[in-house]
């Protein structure tokens, strides 16, 4: 029967018997530790508290022995837990209500869970056991939170804030073990209760909303995360952009950072940058510039600069983050490896051949060793390694790696997750480069459809996949469809990113190439000239993309009968590829063939 019913014949003792056993235990171990342990057992999960978990609370060990000896607590056969009968647990809670100490009890128990969650399991800890204990703690934290919510709704709100904080902290363990769906569900419950009891603008409500937004971003639900965070952000600050005084509290720094991250993930990078800048300045003031929180924000700010093509700001910041991570955490820490991956990615953007494949191989191997082969960060490094092989002209190895990453991401994240769609996009391009045009075309169509649903029409990643689809249209002979789609992508990228962004310049180049192929070299030439000028300025004269623009402009000159101009550009592109990519690279050989054909025509 339930707690409110009569005692069943099988239930141990009665209220009087429990109180007598309790008093006897207090004589053996002292009142304070006995009371503390009874609180743990009465307010935590009703199925009992694991003995291994209690072992992390050494101050309560004598109380556990005393309560077990006097019969106040049970240790069911076959279950390594201590528990109270429902009647005894209710007796403890009723006494707290009678003595008006419930809120204080919940506050203290929140501190217990905080200590358990924050405890270092030690170097010799069994990972599986640590995972099990972590999940047990999540259950206890959520049970405690539900108790605090009940008490708060009676009018005693003193405990809801600390208990909500510790529940949010504990639920993060669900994300650590990969159970994102359960983490989101639990955080939604906490957020709903905080809104109901504390209001939308309360700092704990903001913390819960920020945490939920972060989880949704991890799940790939960018639109929902942005929709959640933006109004809560305004409720917390009263405006779209906080001032320095607004960011004096840690939860406000977290909220600002997460909204910036959501906006960046939604493609609104220009709007994200000022939020990151303010969050970083505030974090340096509150924590210090070398604190992990500050470095996380700085790293994301640097990646945002990289996304808008501002490498002059991005690269020094990425280097700073890597140096700080190395000094504070060591070379093999996951955060250090992430920082190294991001810096190398930026260098690779600027010069695709400046970073050898072996560097990407080293980061991938380190992440696989430290995090496991199927960890999301390891898969990012494996994907980057595949792209490095592709840039180096080793398409079979690139395709093999990309197929493995795609298999793991589909299994772990699902077919529509943004990260899954990214590797599908990379694989479709690799198929096209290797001559498997129809296979690449079909996969590219799936990527565009998935990104339109998941990210929206004007997200940079959606526009990238539309650009790739336009190229695929061209490869399978659908020239008109290619021209229309390239023109649309160029227009959207110019409006969203600006005329000098590398993605916009890529669209100029691609539209111009399509126009030239369709027999419109006069329309193609000015676009090629603009793309080449922009790439020379941003990437330098020997970058692979700059060389591609030279080669393409040469074709436009050739189609217009301007043979000397064409020959000069074909030669410059070939010499640049020789020096940058090497004699045997597939691009170098292709440019050499173009030059030979141009000379033959003369």
Nearest residue to 441 (alpha-carbon basis) of 424, 462, 458, 457: 424
| pLDDT one-digit tens code per residue, 40-65 | 887 776 677 887 777 777 777 788 78
Tokens of 73: 């607590």
Tell the residue number behind the tokens 């469809």, with chain if given. Answer: 481
Ranking 142-156, 307-321, 459-473, 574-588 by mean pLDDT, the lowest is 142-156
- In the chain, what percentage of residues exceed pLDDT 70? 87
User: Between these two residues, 458 and 220, which has the higher pLDDT value?
Assistant: 458
* Structure confidence at residue 22 as a pLDDT band (50, 70, 90): confident
Residue bearing the bigger pLDDT, 396 or 117: 396
Which structure tokens are listed for 168?
A: 């949010």
Higher-pLDDT residue of 483, 136: 483
Average pLDDT over residues 360-368: 86
Dist. CA 336–CA 377, nearest whole Å: 12
- Is 287:477 a contact under the CB 8 Å cutoff? no
Task: Give the pLDDT score at 508.
Answer: 96
Phi and psi angles of residue 246, each rounded to the nearest 5 degrees, phi first? -70, -25
Given this model, what pLDDT does residue 229 score?
Answer: 78
Q: In which residue are the tokens 């229309």 written? A: 484
Structure token pair of residue 106: 């919940």
**Res. 18: pLDDT tops 80:** no
Mean pLDDT score, 490-497:
88
Domains parsed from the chain with CATH numbers: 478-602 (1.25.40.10)
- 224-256 pLDDT, tens digit each: 887 787 776 666 665 555 555 556 677 778 878
**Residue scoring higher pLDDT (312 or 10):** 312
**Bridge partners (DSSP) listed for residue 83:** 74
Query: How far is Cα 510 from Cα 504, in angstroms, rounded to an integer?
Result: 10
Please say if the pLDDT value at position 174 is more than 60. yes
The yes-or-no verdict on residue 156 having pLDDT over 70 is no
Which tokens go with 364? 């991938």
Check residue 5 and give its pLDDT. 31
- Taking only the tens place, the pLDDT of each residue in 75-95 is 776 677 778 877 778 887 777
Q: Which two tokens stand for residue 60?
A: 């309560």
Q: What is the Cα–Cα distance from 136 to 151, expressed in whole angstroms? A: 23
Residue recorded with tokens 């329309």: 523
Q: Where do we find the tokens 């128990």?
A: 109
The tokens describing 118, both together, are: 């924050």
d(CA 4, CA 138): 27
Neighbouring CB atoms inside 10 A of 563's CB total 15
Neighbours of 24 (CB within 10 A): 17
Per-residue pLDDT at 209 exceeds 90: no
Contacts of 134 (CB under 8 A, 6+ apart): 117, 173, 176, 177
Question: Sorting pLDDT into bands at 50, 70 and 90, what band is 99?
Answer: low
117 band by pLDDT with thresholds 50, 70 and 90: low
pTM of the model: 0.59
What sign results for the dihedral spanned by CA atoms 362, 365, 371, 373?
positive
Q: With contact defined as beta carbons under 8 Å apart, do 42 and 86 qualify?
A: no
For residue 6, the model assigns a pLDDT of 29
Sorted by sequence, the CB contacts under 8 Å of residue 186 that are 6+ apart come out as: 138, 142, 167, 171, 174
Residue 299's pLDDT is: 94
Q: CA 45, CA 392: separation in Å to the nearest integer?
A: 56
Average the pLDDT over 217-223 and give the result.
Answer: 75
Model pLDDT, residue 401: 93
The whole-number pLDDT of residue 10 equals 33
pLDDT at 32: 84
**CA–CA distance, 552 with 557 (Å, rounded to integer):** 9
Secondary structure (3-state) at 220: coil
Contact of 244 with 201, CB cutoff 8 Å: no
Helix (H, G, I), strand (E, B) or coil at 367: helix
% of residues, the chain, pLDDT over 90 = 28
Strand residue runs (E) in 219-298: none
**Across the chain, what does the average pLDDT equal?**
82
């Amino acid at each position: 029967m339930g707690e409110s019913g009569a005692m069943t014949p099988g239930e141990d003792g009665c209220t009087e018997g429990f109180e007598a056993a309790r008093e006897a235990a207090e004589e053996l171990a002292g009142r304070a530790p006995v009371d503390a342990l009874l609180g743990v057992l009465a307010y935590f999960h009703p199925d009992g508290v694991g003995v291994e978990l209690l072992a992390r609370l050494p101050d309560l060990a004598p109380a556990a022995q005393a309560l077990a000896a006097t019969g106040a607590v049970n240790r069911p056969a076959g279950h390594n837990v201590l528990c109270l009968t429902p009647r005894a647990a209710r007796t403890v809670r009723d006494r707290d209500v009678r003595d008006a100490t419930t809120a204080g009890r919940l506050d203290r128990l929140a501190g217990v869970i905080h200590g358990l969650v924050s405890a270092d399991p030690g170097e010799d800890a069994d990972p599986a056991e640590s995972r099990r204990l972590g999940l047990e703690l999540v259950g206890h934290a959520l049970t405690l939170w539900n108790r605090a919510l009940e008490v708060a709704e009676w009018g005693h709100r003193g405990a809801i804030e600390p208990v909500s904080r510790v529940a949010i902290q504990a639920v993060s363990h669900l994300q650590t073990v990969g159970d994102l769906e359960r983490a989101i569900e639990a955080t939604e419950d906490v957020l709903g209760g905080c809104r109901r009891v504390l209001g939308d603008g309360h700092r704990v409500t903001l913390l819960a909303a920020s945490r939920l937004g972060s989880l949704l971003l991890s799940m790939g639900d960018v639109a929902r995360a942005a929709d959640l965070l933006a109004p809560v952000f305004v409720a917390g600050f009263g405006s779209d952009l906080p001032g320095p005084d607004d960011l004096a509290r840690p939860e406000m720094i977290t909220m600002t950072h997460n909204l910036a991250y959501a906006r960046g993930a939604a493609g609104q990078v220009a709007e994200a940058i000022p939020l990151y800048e303010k969050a970083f300045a505030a974090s340096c003031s509150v924590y210090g510039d070398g604190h992990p929180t500050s470095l996380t924000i700085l790293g994301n700010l640097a990646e945002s600069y990289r996304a808008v093509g501002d490498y002059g700001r991005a690269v020094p910041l990425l280097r700073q983050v890597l140096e700080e991570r190395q000094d504070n955490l060591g070379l093999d820490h996951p955060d250090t490896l992430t920082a190294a991956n991001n810096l190398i990615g930026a260098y690779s953007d600027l010069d695709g051949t400046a970073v050898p494949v072996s560097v990407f191989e080293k980061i991938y191997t380190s992440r696989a060793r430290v995090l496991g082969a199927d960890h999301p960060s390891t898969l990012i490094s494996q994907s980057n390694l595949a792209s490095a092989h592709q840039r180096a002209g080793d398409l079979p190895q690139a395709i093999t790696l990309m197929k493995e990453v795609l298999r793991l991401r589909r299994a772990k994240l699902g077919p529509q997750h943004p990260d899954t769609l990214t590797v599908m996009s990379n694989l479709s391009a690799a198929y096209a480069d290797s001559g498997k045009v129809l296979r690449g075309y079909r996969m590219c169509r799936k990527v565009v459809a998935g990104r339109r649903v998941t990210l929206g029409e004007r997200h940079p990643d959606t526009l990238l996949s539309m650009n790739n689809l336009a190229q695929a249209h061209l490869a399978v002979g659908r020239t008109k469809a290619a021209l229309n789609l390239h023109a649309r992508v160029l227009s959207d990228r110019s409006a969203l990113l600006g005329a000098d962004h590398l993605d916009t310049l890529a669209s100029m180049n691609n539209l111009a190439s399509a126009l030239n192929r369709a027999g419109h070299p006069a329309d193609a030439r000015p676009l090629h000239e603009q793309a080449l000028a922009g790439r020379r300025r941003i990437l330098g004269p020997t970058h692979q993309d700059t060389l591609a623009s030279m080669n393409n402009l040469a074709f436009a000159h050739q189609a217009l009968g301007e043979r000397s101009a064409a020959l000069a550009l074909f030669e410059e592109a070939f010499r640049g590829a020789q020096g940058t990519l090497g004699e045997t690279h597939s691009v170098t050989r292709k440019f050499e063939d173009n030059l030979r054909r141009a000379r033959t025509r003369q």
